[in-house]
Each structure stands twice: as C-alpha cells, then as structure tokens.
Chain A
Amino acid sequence: MTHREASIALRRFGLGPRRGDLARIAGDPRGYVLAAIGNRQGAIVEDAELEPSHLSFLALRTAQRDQRTARNMLLEVGKDAAAPGAKSPPGSEAAKPDTLKPVAPTSIGDGSAKPGEIRREVFREEIRARLERAVTTDQPFLERLVYFWSNHFCVSVIKGPLVRVMAGAFEREAIRPHVLGRFGDMLKAVEQHPAMLVYLDNAQSIGPNSPAGRNRGKGLNENLAREILELHTLGVAGGYTQADVTNFASIITGWSVADPQLAAGVAGNPRLAAKFGGEDLVPGRFVFTPNRHEPGALTVLGKRYEDRGIRTGEDVLGDLARHPSTARHIAMKLARHFVADNPPAELVDRLAKTFRSTDGDLAAVARALATSPECWAVAPRKVVPPHDFVVSLIRAFDLKMRPPEAIRIAAAIGQPLWGPPSPKGWPDDDDAWMGPAAVRERLRIAERVARDVDRKLDPRAVATDLFGDALSDAARLAIERAEAREQGFELLVMSPEFLRR
C-alpha cells in the first residue's frame, strides 16, 4: 500500500502524524479528512480555566486603573515631601484608601493583581488550551481551518496589553464557532469583537458630525474600514476607492467596546443609556454608541446606505460577504495556504464558485477543498510554519514539552503566537519560512528535542511509523546510517518530508 495520500491527509490537511496515525488512516485518508468537516461544533474549545474576553478586558482595565491611582498617590506623597510644611488634606481623593479597591471583582486573580500578572495569567491559560488541543486532536483539519481563519482575521499582541489579554478569547469566540459555519457570520463576529475594535482602532473612531464629534473635536479613524475591505473581504484589487474607505469608516463609527466606567455611569439613567448603547451594557463587550455615530446616508461601492444606526454597518458587511471579489480573494488564499503558490486555476475557480453558490458556507468550501483532486496531486511544497513545526514535533515524538516552551521556540524561529507583524498576518508563500538562520535553528531545535525522545524508540522504526513509504529513499538511508540514535531523529526532523507539507 502506498502512504502518499495518508501522508497528505496528515500533513497538508493536518498538524503532522502521531505514532500510529498513518496505519490507522491508511485505508481511507480522504474519509479521515472529510469526517472532521462533519463535526460541525468540533472546533469549539470549552475549558473551565478560560475567561470570556470581556472579563479579561475588565480585569486588566481595573488593574491598570488601580495602578495609576496608586502611582498618583505616590506622586502626591512625593510632592508633599518635597514641599516642607505642606500637608495632605485629610479628605483628599488620592489619599482615600478605598480608591485602591477594584471597582468590580472578577474571577481573574483575587482582584488585587497587577496588570502584568493578569496579562501573564490569561495568556498562559490561553496558550495551554490552544497547545493541548493542537497536540491531542484527532481532527487536526479543524485546527488548520481555525489557524487559517485566525490568521486571515488576525489581531496581534504587538498592539498592547488589551489585545494580549483578548487574543486567545477572540479566536475562541469569533473564529472557532464559525469555521464550519457562514463566512458572513464570522465576518460580523470578528468586526464586532472588542479585540478587533481595539487592534484596528475603531473603538476610538468618532463621527465628525456625531454629538461626540461636535463636542470633543474628535473624529474618524479609517484603519479598520480599510483593512476590512483590503484584507478581510474584497482584497486589495477588489475594486474599492479611498472614498469607499472613508465612507465605510464613517458608517462603522460608534462600533466600540463598553467601558467599565461608562457602564456604571449609564446604569439607571435611561436618557444617558440611549446615547451610549443601552442600559444592559456589559463592560468589555461590543457596544454601538449612537453618540459617536456619524449621521446621514453614505455610499460604499456605488450603493447608497441610508443611516440605520448599527444596522448600516452590518448591511455593508453582509454585502461585502456576498461580493464576488470576496469569494475570489478567499478562494485564492485558501488554495495558496493548503496547496502552493500559484495554485491550479481550476482549484481556485471551484472554491470561489462553491463560496458564492452556497452564500459563504465554509463547511461546503472546506469540503470542496478536501475533495479537489489537485490537493491530493500536488507534491508537498510549503515549508511548515514555525508554530505548526513545533506542534508536529510534539505530536510525532510525544514530547512532554510545556506550552510556554513550545510557544517560545516557535517565536524564536519567527512566529510568536497571536503576534503577527501586521494586520496582513503571517506570510504564506511556499518558502516564506526558509530563511537560512531559521532553517539552521530548526536543526538546533531538533538536537534539543532528540534528547527528549523516549529512549526505547528507534529512529528507523519511528520514521516508518510516521511516514511509511512517503519518505524518500535518500532520507530513509540517511536515518539508517546515522551514527547515533539522536542523530537519526535529527535527520528525520530535518528531512524535506518533515519540513514541507
């Protein structure tokens, strides 16, 4: 039996084999991939240790404010000390000890944590859950779809602490529930998620002619609107203009994140509540703030939208999700990601057609991808990105690597989790991850992990278990002739079959 298709199923559509996988799926590799698509809720992560994004947001904001208050107190004390004879008035705000108490206790920490502690604790739990799923899943195609969409709609922790505490939750809340759902639903969930609204600055964008804009002399920020058009939907050549960007940015003014103090302020005051998004504001959740929304009808891509408040922006998103340029853009990205640069035109056409005819049913698109003959014909080309490389090491050799260590190694060779350099996400061309120093460091990583592989294992047997006859004769021979057991594992890890998919 040939293992070529089984190896493609485990690598092109997966995160690399664990021992035993190849033999287990060899009878029906395509069925193995398709079975994952049948598991509609399979990508969702439920984990008691993980917080929803709004609670992490709230905990961080609270801690930041407490820290500022404490710092201001110290400054006050410093001033007093510097001015002899000056006394702190007994009732002064800064001196009140109860201002140090958190406004709203949350389940994160005991309410007295510093911002840095909250950041680290939330991030540690998120990477633990993500890694656990990656190394244990029997349906890795679902994870690959999550990573694809999470990268397509990326946020980046580079932005700062708020995105850092929400990045993992963003993926769980806006991406995972929709990877086999509708593109339009994922689009809306993403663009209304606090992490995205903070990352691309829309949380602060204000309509120049809105009440807030007129009062405060503040205004538009076109960052999110531009990236929705350029990166998330139509693509850069998708046929929009600067005027479309500006108008769309105006339409989504008021799409923001409920501030804890604002929520406290409007509670019990219906008039204020109406201006700021309703009485049931949940701090840290998406809110539409009429007070910041640009009034009036506006045109995007030649279509005039009457102002319907929050609905206007949702209508534009709906139209963008159905736009033929979006179908084409997504189809091209999927084909490049799962197959190769310059993918076969027939494949891209088929994916785009499926996307359009099913109104963006991503399960149908995933099925079209997994049943396309091109995906099973093209030889492995793409260098496995650092994160997936580390995951594939853990899977292949059953390593007991701690999640922070795994994440640190992937970061060292270029891919910190949820930390892409820009809203465009990680590069995806075949050789993007073949920078010479990074390839060399993969060998160093291989040397490091080879020491941790179970001493009872023989590299020749493991190579056969993981790849069967999909490993080249040259690689097999090199492993057989290795001068030591560790070197055998190093050569296996560094073989083209392990490094490309």
Chain B
Amino acid sequence: MTACKEAHLISRRSILGGAVSLSLWGALPRRSHAGSRDPRLLTVILRGGLDGLWLASPTGDPDLERLRGRFAMTRSGESAGLPLDAFFVLNPAMPYFHGLYQKREALIVHAVATPYRERSHFDGQDVLESGLPSVGRVEDGWLNRAVSGLAVEAKANPGGLAKASPKGLAMGAVVPLVMRGPASVLTWIPQTFGIPLRESTIARLTDLYAETDPGLAKAFADGIALDKVATAGGTAGVPSKLPTPAPPQPPLVREFVDTAEAAARFLGSADGPRIGVLSYNGWDTHANAGAIKGQLANRLGGLDAAIKAFAEGIGPAWKDTVVVIVTEFGRTARINGTEGTDHGTATAALIMGGGVKGGRVVADWPGLSEKALHQARDLRPTRDLRSVLKGVLRDHIGIPDRALAEVVFPSSGSVIALDGLIA
C-alpha cells in the first residue's frame, strides 16, 4: 500500500505540477476560435451504464432483432424510434433531442467506450472520470484539470476568458470524481431552509476556518460564492423559476429538470462558472428495462426534459454551449433472462449545443454479428471516448492537443482528438 501511495504522489506531481501545466497551456498556439466566444461546457454523467443500443438503435443492422427480440426498436410500428438516418433511430422518449438533431445542433457518437474493459460500475466510472487509461488513481478528474487549465489561461490572457470564473460547477451535495482536483469547484443543492445567512456569522466562520481548517475554509468560501452568483440574478440562493406554473411532472422528471435548470442559470450568468457537471443515476437496467415503455423510457424522457430545460434556460448563451452526455459503459448486446441487459462495453454518447456540427450519427459501426461482438457478448468499441472528449475540449474550449494528451487525459498521446465536432 505504501508503494501504491508513493506512485500516486509521483504521478500527481507530474500531472499537476504548476510549471508543467502552465507551459503546456500558455506557450502553445490555440487551434480554436474559442477566444472570440465565451464557451460553456456541461458534462452529464449517466451512472449505471446506459444501453446505447436502446438509446440510438441500429435498425439497419441485420442482427439487431435476433439479439433484442421483441424488445428491438424498429423503424415503424409500436416499437418505432425517431429516424436519425438510414441506419439508426432514436429512442422515442427523446423528441426534444430529436428536434435539436434535426436542427443540426445535436449529434450522436456510437460504439464508443472508455479504455476500461472490465464490468464493474465503480471502476468503470473511475476510469471515465479520472481520464486515465486504467483503474487506479481516484484523486482528481479530467474536467477539473480542464478547469485548472482555464485558470492558468485566465492569468496569462487577462482579456480573454478572465471575465468568466475559473471555477468548476458540480450539481449535487457530493463533488463527483470528474470534477475533483486542484481547481475550485462550486456546487449546488436546493436550499434546506428559506432563511438568509447572516453576514456576521459568515465572516466569523471564515476567520475560524482560515485559522484551523484549510479544507473547510475553501469549501465554505465556494459555497457562499455560489449563493452570491445566484443572488446576482435576482432571487436569493435559488435559481428563479419561470413565472408561469409548469404542468405537473412525475417526481423523476422534476428532479432531472430542477438540476438542469439550475445548471443553466449558473453557466449562463455573465460571471459564473463555465464548465459544469451533473449526474443522473439509475441506468443500470438489468431487469424489465422498458426501453420503449417503462423504466428506461421514463428516464430517457426525464433526460430529454432536462436537456430542454437546460437549452431553454441558458438562453442566448446556448450558441456558445456544448453539452456532452456520457456513461461508464454499455450493456450486453443480447437481452438477458429478465428482459434487461447486463454490464457490457461500448455504448453511445450524445453531444449537443449551438456550436455543434450536428445532425449526424458518428460511428465506425462494428456490426452485431456473433463474430463482431466483443467477447461474443457486447457491442465492440471502435472509438475511444477520450478522442470525443478531446475533440470537444480542444475545439470548443480551446485546450491545446499537448495539454490534452499530457495533463487532461494523461498518457493519451495515441488517442487522437476527433475532428469536426464543433462548427
């Protein structure tokens, strides 16, 4: 264990050493036109392993029906999906996303996977979030390291991104691994009680923590700061709601939508954070998956409502926004014994936003024949998810290739950023 810890300390130093990061960010020419915009990035993590074949279904693949039987999505009839192209259909629970796709503001990358090839949710999420090629280090995540890069950049180019907060945003009580790390992170949860905090108590606690507890000092300061971002827009602490009462929604949808609305408000505000993350749980559909009608359809419907709430909530900033939706792994190509699917490998990722070159499914389709499946079981990955994330971070946020390969996704030099995702 001691050896483990030392190895970890060394890698942490080499990855996060300020001098290294600074030179990688500051000295290299920028490829993107990010400087002329004010880019926002929201990453959504679907925890539990989203079944990519039920999200975007390859109805053009002759093996689909054999594997999914009566649960296969089709081009017409009762199980019909929404058409994407001649080969794929989208789950019918996602009409809003489909509208974005038709407006060319959304795309799907299919048959993607992280480098992780086992089937543990928790290791899978660790690899997805740490941005490392394998399981092992769970101290900080790629999104936080991207935020650190922005902070360095803000210092180097005071006229550029400096007006935005070089802080990350994490929706929820617990900061997920992907956003843990050296950069400050603001978090959001709904207020417990509608009472204003007293300035004098805040000041006294700030002094107390400064003297006794650096960790609490940072967390407390960030917690108070986000209250202020929210307040600057009008309502104390809580993101304002639309004046007209929304039609009643199931609790699941309401929960998804509330978080997305709040995220839109923070990322959309002039001096707020620019890079955020939120997680939705419950995609581990081992039994009675209900992809067309049932639990998975309900969740995808909630996700679609959340996408709508975010896209509409962020307002004019949508043109400078990219949303990336990812999951730790896909599921078995074949339906299991209980009308669900077990842990698998490749899956689909969703990318959308005003700046996205959308209206297409990006896939080097491996096929679903027995021979084509990974271990005769799962959709075979034909693209590394990191190449997709790199493409977004480089062309949307403006992080140079070398920083992506060495700092954000360490040891990923051979994983080339996917070109052409951003208009």
Contact = CB atoms under 8 A, between A and B. Distances in A.
Interface stretch (A74-82, A87-95, A218-226, A270-278): A218-226
B40 interface: no
B65 to A, nearest CB: 15
A487 B204 contact: yes
A206 B340 CA distance: 13
Contacts of B220: 436, 439-440, 443
Q: How large is the interface on A (under 10, 10 to 19, 20 to 34, 35 or more residues)?
A: 35 or more
A431 interface: yes
Contact of A422 (B5, B121, B191): B121
A84 interface: no
Contacts, number: 188
A359 interface: no
Interface stretch (A3-11, A50-58, A135-143, A474-482): A474-482
Interface residues of B, number: 66
A35 interface: no
Interface string B202-226: 1011011101110110111111111
B414 interface: no
Interface in A438-488: 438-441, 443-445, 447-448, 472, 474-475, 478, 481-483, 487
Contacts of B23: none
A386 B340 contact: no
Interface stretch (B144-152, B279-287, B315-323): B279-287
A158 interface: yes
Given A204-B287, A220-B337, A445-B192, A496 B187 contact: no
B188 A437 contact: yes
A151 B13 CA distance: 34
B189 A220 contact: no
B223 A205 contact: no
A223 B342 contact: yes
A68 to B, nearest CB: 15
B192 A206 contact: no
B338 A475 contact: no
Given A433-B174, A438-B187, A422 B216 contact: no
B338 A218 contact: yes
A434 interface: yes
B342 A432 contact: no
Contacts of A222: 286, 336, 342-343
A342 B9 CA distance: 13
Given A220-B336, A221-B337, A223-B342, A436 B121 contact: no
Nearest to A207: B337
Nearest to B225: A436
B72 to A, nearest CB: 15
Contacts of A472: 212
Contacts of B218: 436
A487 B200 contact: yes
A230 B120 CA distance: 8
| 10 residue pairs, one from A and one from B, having the closest CB atoms | A219-B337, A414-B173, A440-B223, A436-B223, A436-B222, A437-B187, A438-B173, A496-B213, A435-B187, A204-B338
12 contacts: A158-B281, A200-B286, A219-B336, A223-B342, A231-B122, A436-B186, A437-B188, A437-B223, A439-B220, A441-B223, A448-B195, A474-B212
Interface of A: 158, 200-201, 204-206, 208, 213, 218-223, 226, 230-231, 236, 242, 245, 342, 345, 348, 386, 409, 412-415, 421-424, 427, 431-441, 443-445, 447-448, 472, 474-475, 478, 481-483, 487, 490-491, 494-496, 499-500
